[in-house]
Amino acid sequence: MEITLTAPLDMHLHLRDGDMLRLTAPLSADFAGAVIMPNLVPPVRTPEQLRAYAERIDDAMDGAPFMRLMTLFFAPQSEAQLLAAQATPEFFAYKLYPAGITTNSEGGLADMAQAEPTLRLMEELGIPLLVHGESHGFVLDREAEFLTVYRTLAERFPRLKLCMEHITTAAALQLLDEYPSLCATVTLQHLLITLDDVAGGALRPHLFCKPLAKRPEDREALLAAALGGHPRLFFGSDSAPHPRHKKECCGCAAGVFTAPLALPKLAELFAAHGAAERLQGFVSDNACRYYGLQPPPRRVTLCDTPMQVPPLYRGYGQSVVPMAAGECIGWSIKR
């Protein structure tokens, strides 16, 4: 069996910088493009920093055709600043992080009220807002508690293209159905695992991410929505590489590295549920329709030939352990 995808997109990707970028960028190049996260050290805050980062990505891709949808780290902005960002060809959206909620987010927003004048301008200018939607409450309740913020934003700014990033709960899906301006991304790991897979037995640090995987009923709701072709649900890997020594340690870094196996694993998942024909929408068409994107017309063919996931990706002085390291999965990319 084969599945041919046209212009698959990853709507939430971490490539990091420096030597880690050089290692991970080519491992993400099976996608035609991706939304690139800005939480570097220091964060990508200005159009100049954004252009420089896009150039470093191009260099790391080494000629692979790849559409970089670049994001800026959100802070309150003037109209002149927003127009300058919008005039930058590589710019796609602003990414809002609550302060200190995840990796390299210490400079994020501490008070949502401070954002409202900027969001009003973004609504008028048609600039999307992508949000890491978690509170600082009890870790399993953080997404659920943040849903009230999404609801407020959707009601106060009904024309703002607002993306709930990497949703993990059935409750987030219910909110998605209430407001047509909302969209959402969901990761591979949150379609496959629950918190029990992460910490129900021996701790598995390479499955630890933020937001945490939740309950079986949440996973099943997310999977049903993806397989069912929800028109405003997009694949966003949130593939987040960390050096092996920062995962296998006390104070384990949050992030799951899935970029090299995302498309084969998704093909395996959708085919196993008899929904292979809906994978195109999930990994490309839904996002293109919502945002008006025109990615490069690349085609990727996946086949039901097994592949062995490497136990480790190594290069440029870096080593990263992927999800499903050392395992055999049932599908692969036809080269």
Containing H/E element for 101?
A: none
Mean pLDDT of 133-157: 95
Confidence of residue 100 (pLDDT cuts 50, 70, 90): confident
Mean pLDDT of 122-129: 98
Of 98-107, 109-118, 186-195, 215-224, give the lowest mean pLDDT range: 98-107
Q: Please tell me the predicted confidence (pLDDT) of residue 27.
A: 96
Q: Residue 104 pLDDT > 80, yes or no?
A: no
Share of the chain above pLDDT 90, in %: 93
Separation of alpha carbons 293 and 158, rounded Å: 21
> How far does CA 50 lie from the centroid of its chain?
18
The closest of 179, 164, 297, 294 to 234, measured between CA atoms, is: 164
Q: Provide the sign of the torsion angle of the four alpha carbons 78, 80, 84, 87, taken in this order.
A: positive
Confidence of residue 109 (pLDDT cuts 50, 70, 90): confident
Q: What is the pLDDT of residues 17-26, one digit of tens each?
A: 999 999 999 9
Q: Please tell me the predicted confidence (pLDDT) of residue 2.
A: 97
Q: Domain range spanning residue 113? A: 2-333
Q: Please give the mean pLDDT across all residues of the chain.
A: 96
Separation of alpha carbons 293 and 105, rounded Å: 28
Q: Residue 132 pLDDT > 90, yes or no?
A: yes
Mean pLDDT of 48-66: 94
Contact 296, 12 (CB under 8 A): no
Q: Please tell me the predicted confidence (pLDDT) of residue 181.
A: 95
Contact 11, 234 (CB under 8 A): yes
pLDDT: which is higher, 309 or 103: 309
Domain count, the chain: 1
pTM (global) more than 0.95: yes
- Secondary structure class of 313 (helix, strand, coil): strand
Q: Give the CATH number of the domain where residue 180 resides.
A: 3.20.20.140
Q: Where are the beta strands (DSSP E) in the chain?
A: 2-6, 9-13, 33-36, 67-73, 91-96, 129-131, 162-164, 182-186, 233-235, 299-303, 307-308, 313-315, 318-320, 328-329, 332-333
Residues that are catalytic: 238
Contact 310, 258 (CB under 8 A): no
Mean pLDDT of 279-297: 96
Separation of alpha carbons 175 and 216, rounded Å: 19
Contact 311, 326 (CB under 8 A): yes
